[in-house]
Structure 1
Amino acid sequence: MNQLHTPKASRNQEAARLSFMPSVSVSPSGRTRRGGLYRRWSRRVDLSAAAGSPSGCTFTCVSAKKTALTVLSAALLVPAMLAAPAHADPATPSTVPADGKGKPRKAPPPPSSMSSVGGAALGQPGTQVTLLPGAPALPANLTGRSWIVADADTGEVLAAHNPHWRLPPASTMKMLFADTVLPSLPKDQVHRVTEQEMADIGAGSSLVGVKEDTEYTVHDLWLGVFLRSGNDAVHVLSAMNGGIEKTVKDMQAHAEELQALDTHVVSPDGYDAPGQVSSAYDLTLIARSGLQKQDFREYCGTASAQFPGRQESGKPRDFFEIQNTNRLMTGAGGISPYKGIAGVKNGNTSMAGSTFTGAAQRGNKKLLVTVMNPDAGGINSVYEETAELFDWGFAAAGKVKPIGQLVPPKSADTKSKGAPAQSHEQSQAATGGDPGDNGLGTALGIAGGALAALAGGAFAFNRRWPAGRRGRRSTDEDLV
């Protein structure tokens, strides 16, 4: 597997999560510019919680410091200036890989039966949407093998295409890694990297540039994960968490807690591995959970940073600039920045193709979109199709009947919510039903206030649940 990443960090997986989304987990190309104007940034966006400590699953204000990136918008309301990775990838093909005869590779058909978690319609193959009078048609010529558009506040799924198709996730798996491990490691903890911790990093992996026998803070390492998708940083943090094997088990357990039942974890960095899969539905659940965490939001909201950032008085050390790789955030590669973009993470490997989960906001409407493996075009296709689905979702708000729901974690109070979510195997014999009948809508209410201005703007999101090896090549453009 060959990870496609920036020229300066050929083995560095892209990693960036956005801080715009509410959390749902329990803690332990030449397109026309879309939306407002964005000023290019070269410094880190450092987000911090506003006064007051969070309680439970409540969001706090997240504000950008004076050193944060400056964002300009046609309207002064540009939700969530959270930076995702900005790819500066090597040259990539503009068409689908050929089958050896010069013809584009034909996409495989989706499974005839998939999981029904979130509603029976979500387990059906093909595109699922219920348009009401006045609703815009879905974008034409979408090629993603799987995608989903969901309301981040209510959890309602507005439209989807094979959302439970279990596919390789590439770097988007790093969202689950961060959501699982981040709460257990103090950000100011200093760690000296060992040779053993750097062993067994997949060949072709993207790297942030972690050095053996060098000290880094946990904060530095997470910036390496989120901004540069650094597999080296992932391996070090995994070692600090008890090792790769334990981390994989922790991630799998957390996925099950989130009811992300399509997800099977093999490697914490998303590096292609047999049996490692997730789905558009699951990645959306995971992103939504991670964005509830203050530190997750901070790292996702960092456009560029000094690495390593820890400098001691009288002990100068070398550092370099690292930048995020989300093209909808940075405008790299001919993709215009998307107005209101707030994250989350992209990925690309030879097995997964291009994958992306994004969060964006316009006015009071907040959406999550995940697109997996477009079958046409190059790396930019995943961003273009995501932007089109965001445009559609904002225009269709209130004009479609939800086809399903983003479910709450198992640990949330599920009384009176109906039957528990079903796995893919359990749903084989499941019968249909109105996705709204299980009470999940009331469980996922998020009271959100949003204000996006120039640098220093703040976002407040409140969400409450009811009481209760090196020789192998890898092609991952942005393994998370």
Structure 2
Amino acid sequence: MPAPTKQTVRRSLLVVSAVLSSCALSAPLALAAPTPSAGPSASASASPSVSPPARMSSVGGTRLARAGAQVDLGVGAPVLPKDVTARSWIVADAESGEVLAAQNAHWRLPPASTMKMLFADTVLPKFPKTEKHTVVPTDLAGIGSGSSMVGIKEGETYTVHDLWLGVFLRSGNDAVHVLSAMNHGVEDTVRDMNAHAEELQALDTHVVSPDGYDAPGQVSSAYDLTLVARSGLQKKDFREYSSTVRAKFPGDTKEEKGKKVRESFEIQNTNRLLSGDSDVPVYQGIAGIKNGNTTNAGATFTGVAERNGRVLLVTVMHPETSARNEVYKETAKLLDWGFKAAGKARPIGELVPPRSAARASAQPSAGTTPGEADVVSTQASVRGGAGGLEVAFAIAGGVLVLLAGAAFLVNRRWPLPDLVRRRSRP
């Protein structure tokens, strides 16, 4: 059997470390997200607080629960950019899950249309892209005033592929509502999204409207949006849609010379790091993902980029500076920092795996090595309801065993070998 590579061992350590963290989440030590103080209706107001809460979630690491910028600069690591004004942000390695730096990572804030990432990660697998749907009036009911729209018309037929282009490129709330109608309605879709958020351990997130439109109680966090993006990037269609710069979208059907002819028009991605703008160049290595902007949320954005084999995720929420395209400029600065700091800045936390992945990793199999079995045993004792000190000792013991047995574990979930960039569709 060939010796494991350094990268395999590194990723294996991260996987089992994430599993141990996941187990600790359910222990009495309570690293889970704090419960909203007064239920969903109290979680978001017309004007979110300008100060982070004193107590935030510890999911992914205790440093991520602290207010203010968090970073552990190693030798040669550059300092964080000084002119980032966002209330909350995070820089993470998309493949390993290491969090390189963050500020108020678990601050629950209105997400705007970045919530569509969770919508897509939840609903996209349910319908083949070739499936067709004819829009009826009830499909478009309940769309919020002033919503971003791709231009869907009642009585016209669209493929699921068309609808997802409308969601990702134009952030079309009309496309979201049509897909929600196909998924048994908005109420069921919201329920599905909240369940999926819980599965991803995105415990800061509460969905009220699937399109991200401002609604009382609708919140997420930079940490959660990054978890969701990382999950979505496992799906080929998600990667392709989020990286598409421009595409043709079906328009009205008209009669020409006795024949029905379907017109089309071009739509362009509103992600300025992908499509560019007068004051924002296309970011080198950009590959998606999703932007948002509402009165309540301000500007929000999650982006993924790759350079020299390193894939980084950055989420930025609500820059205080109102300059044009500020959310993209601040994201670009944090990406620049992340690529320079990678391998030098020490991780301050991690993006935890979904609950099902953690459970699967915890199950011994016929081929389980002794090291793996001991880690599983440690996890089981933690889940069994040990007290705080017992949990701490159990996790510490698990880490020691992990160091001995990590070479036998392989992370097959997170690599992104075919990450795509700046695609244009006919």
Partner of 2:318: 373
The alpha-carbon distance between structure 1 residues 450 and 190, as it changes in their structure 2 partners (threshold 3 A), is: closer
- Please say if residues 172 and 270 of structure 1, whose CA atoms lie closer than 8 Å, have aligned partners that are also in contact: yes
CA deviation vs aligned residue, 1:150-177 (integer Å, no higher than 9, x gap): 0111000000000000000000000000
Distance in 1 between the 2:244 and 2:128 partners?
Answer: 18
Structure 1 letter corresponding to 2:88: S
Structure 1 letter corresponding to 2:104: N
Distance in 1 between the 2:252 and 2:124 partners?
Answer: 19
Report the 3-state secondary structure (helix = DSSP H, G, I; strand = E; otherwise coil) of the residue aligned with 1:366.
strand
Partner of 1:277: 219
- After the TM superposition, which residues 20-169 of structure 1 pair with which residues of structure 2 at under 5 Å, given as runs? 108-169=50-111
User: Alignment partner for residue 178 of structure 1, among 120, 124, 135?
Assistant: 120
Partner of 1:294: 236
Distance in 2 between the 1:115 and 1:246 partners?
Answer: 27
- After the TM superposition, which residues 469-480 of structure 1 pair with which residues of structure 2 at under 5 Å, given as runs? none
User: Alignment partner for residue 353 of structure 1, among 295, 298, 301?
Assistant: 298
User: Alignment partner for residue 201 of structure 2, among 230, 239, 259?
Assistant: 259
The alpha-carbon distance between structure 1 residues 257 and 107, as it changes in their structure 2 partners (threshold 3 A), is: closer
Distance in 2 between the 1:379 and 1:431 partners?
Answer: 48
Structure 2 letter corresponding to 1:396: A
Report the 3-state secondary structure (helix = DSSP H, G, I; strand = E; otherwise coil) of the residue aligned with 2:101.
strand
TM-score, with normalisation over the residues of structure 1? 0.66
- Please say if residues 198 and 232 of structure 1, whose CA atoms lie closer than 8 Å, have aligned partners that are also in contact: yes
* Matched residues, number: 345
User: Alignment partner for residue 346 of structure 2, among 401, 413, 427?
Assistant: 401
User: Alignment partner for residue 392 of structure 1, among 322, 330, 337?
Assistant: 337
Distance in 2 between the 1:455 and 1:196 partners?
Answer: 33
Report the 3-state secondary structure (helix = DSSP H, G, I; strand = E; otherwise coil) of the residue aligned with 1:345.
strand
Q: Does 1:382 align with 2:382?
A: no
Distance in 2 between the 1:455 and 1:281 partners?
Answer: 27
Unaligned runs of 5+ in 1: 1-104, 457-480
CA deviation vs aligned residue, 1:175-215 (integer Å, no higher than 9, x gap): 00011001001111111100111111101001111000111
By how many angstroms is 1:452 displaced?
Answer: 7.8
Higher relative contact order (CA 8 A, sep 6+): 1
CA RMSD of aligned residues (A): 3.2
Report the 3-state secondary structure (helix = DSSP H, G, I; strand = E; otherwise coil) of the residue aligned with 2:244.
coil
- After the TM superposition, which residues 184-263 of structure 1 pair with which residues of structure 2 at under 5 Å, given as runs? 184-263=126-205
- Please say if residues 335 and 383 of structure 1, whose CA atoms lie closer than 8 Å, have aligned partners that are also in contact: yes
Q: Which stretches of structure 1, 4 residues or longer, exceed 6 Å deviation after superposition?
A: 309-312, 417-422, 430-434, 438-442, 450-456
Distance in 2 between the 1:249 and 1:380 partners?
Answer: 33
Structure 2 letter corresponding to 1:344: I
Q: Which has the larger radius of gyration?
A: 2
Distance in 2 between the 1:128 and 1:236 partners?
Answer: 41
Higher helix share: 2
- Please say if residues 78 and 340 of structure 2, whose CA atoms lie closer than 8 Å, have aligned partners that are also in contact: yes
Partner of 1:339: 284
Distance in 1 between the 2:180 and 2:418 partners?
Answer: 34
The alpha-carbon distance between structure 1 residues 294 and 160, as it changes in their structure 2 partners (threshold 3 A), is: same
TM-score, with normalisation over the residues of structure 2? 0.74
Structure 1 letter corresponding to 2:197: A
Distance in 1 between the 2:273 and 2:61 partners?
Answer: 30
The alpha-carbon distance between structure 1 residues 309 and 106, as it changes in their structure 2 partners (threshold 3 A), is: closer
